[in-house]
Amino acid sequence: MNECAPSSASRLSAALAAIRAGGLSAQVSTAPSVLETHSHGEAMEAACLPGAVVFVESTDHVATVLRACHANRVPVVAFGAGTSVEGHVTPPDHAISLDLSAMTAIVEVNAEDLDCRVQAGLTRQALNARIRDTGLFFPVDPGGEATLGGMCATRASGTAAVRYGTMKENVLGLTVVLATGEVIRTGGRVRKSATGYDLTSLFIGSEGTLGIITEVQLRLHGRPECLSAAICQFPTLDDAVRTAMEIIQCGIPISRVELLDSVQMAASIRYSGLTGYEPLTTLFFEFAGGPAAVQEQVAATEAIALSNNGQAFAWADTAEERTRLWKARHDAFWAAKAIEPGARVISTDCIVPISRLGELIAGVRQDIAASGLRVPLLGHVGDGNFHALIIIENTRQGYDRAWDLDRRIVARALALGGSCSGEHGVGMGKLEFLETEHGEGTLAVMRALKNTMDPRNILNPGKLLPPGRLYQG
């Protein structure tokens, strides 16, 4: 007679007992308010209470938790700032939410070599504030108050990617705790190496499904001698998109070029107090470098914009005015939410080669019109990436309409040689598009990696990879 397998609840209880026995009793919480906070991220409706939350403060703490969870087959979901929008941090039933937000130490700063090592719970804003006196900064800027570990896990990018690249280009190495609790270090401090597999890149973008990132070796950059920002408004969305494309195709080393369509700009004017601007499609620009280089970038950019019917540039040369403009851009999601108080906003993204961006946005505008929904558009058009903020009524019917529009947007991007997500990641929200984008053979390799590195499927199960023969999610 076979014994019944332990239930999910009993496995969780055994794992928590082992975690407490490992010296982490004070770090375990089952308080209802704490569980609710860790039941979801942003934007997606999916939510599920974890069985417990464990607040860790070191790599050793993470290893203790994972050893217990691996032994008892208990799912673990890493949680940082909770700002993900595709359901990455939503736990399955009877899971442990592993909160790394207290891991905020800067382990080392090597100013001469332009690098530093930090714990994964540190935010990029806090890092830049704490290294300001070195004359260096970390440029990857996804907009939200994201942790650097979470930015690694989702391969984040953001407004400055057109010049500085994404997390992939700015991470030199990692400390990772594997599913079994084993700790490994990948990469190092050198700018290149011809030894072994590139495990750092393997974990960047893995969304916590292959290991838990606890420390990050980051590439830093010198603060530019001169910064200048500007806004230019356009009578049509097509004019603005064409301007952004031509700037990139001409090789102008612009730091940022961000687009807000007329719907988003109207919302941002109201929400952020952008007085003096019209509710027209708008490009936000930032230029960086030496004074002569900045002047050259500005002149070339302005000439392209004016040739595409751009209205006169509005300059922001003071730090206060630049901060005001970029804060308005970063607050765009909240400005969209304020359009219809009480409504929900589904934030989605896709990306195509820069030469196909105009075609994609033109098609998406047709889909939006057919949907009858109000959808502001904004994005990092310098690298072909944009976001649709789909405003819906908070009902099942509203969500169904949003996802139908999202599928149409993604289908257009994939047909143009793009990707279903340029920076939000897959999580649960983009799972259905992975086979179309990558093909079954590629997914089979990904599943084999997952099965090898996490044979008991405890690390963020059900995310990033659609179910298949080797991985059931």
Radius of gyration of the chain (CA): 23
Q: Where in the chain is the domain with CATH 3.30.43.10?
A: 21-99
Give the tokens for residue 323.
């901060």
More confident residue, 313 or 135: 135
- Distance from first CA to last CA of the chain, Å, rounded? 30
Q: Is the pTM of this model over 0.85?
A: yes
Going by CATH, does the domain composed of 21-99 fall within 3.40.50.300? no
Contacts of 303 (CB under 8 A, 6+ apart): none
State the Cα–Cα distance between residues 311 and 309, nearest whole angstrom: 6
Query: 320: exposed, middle or buried (C-beta count within 10 Å: 0-12, 13-18, 19+)?
Result: exposed
pLDDT of 2 strictly over 70: no
CATH number of 110-221: 3.30.465.10
pLDDT category of residue 332 using cuts at 50, 70 and 90 = very high
Write the pLDDT tens digit of every residue in 436-466: 999 999 999 999 999 999 999 999 999 999 9
Average pLDDT over residues 149-169: 94
pLDDT for 312 equals 78
State the Cα–Cα distance between residues 90 and 161, nearest whole angstrom: 27
Going by CATH, does the domain composed of 336-432 fall within 3.30.70.2740? yes
Q: Where in the chain is the domain with CATH 3.30.70.2740?
A: 336-432
CATH of 226-334, one of 3.30.70.2190, 3.30.70.2390, 3.40.50.360, 2.60.40.10: 3.30.70.2190
CA angle 207, 139, 184 (to 5 degrees): 40
Average pLDDT over residues 118-138: 97
Write the pLDDT tens digit of every residue in 161-213: 999 999 999 999 999 999 999 999 999 998 888 999 999 999 999 999 999 99
Q: Where in the chain is the domain with CATH 3.30.70.2190?
A: 226-334
Write the pLDDT tens digit of every residue in 236-268: 999 999 999 999 999 999 999 999 999 999 999
382: nearest Cα among 436, 422, 326, 433: 422
Q: Are the CB atoms for 336 and 267 separated by under 8 Å?
A: yes
pLDDT category of residue 58 using cuts at 50, 70 and 90 = very high
Write the pLDDT tens digit of every residue in 335-364: 999 999 888 899 889 999 999 999 999 999
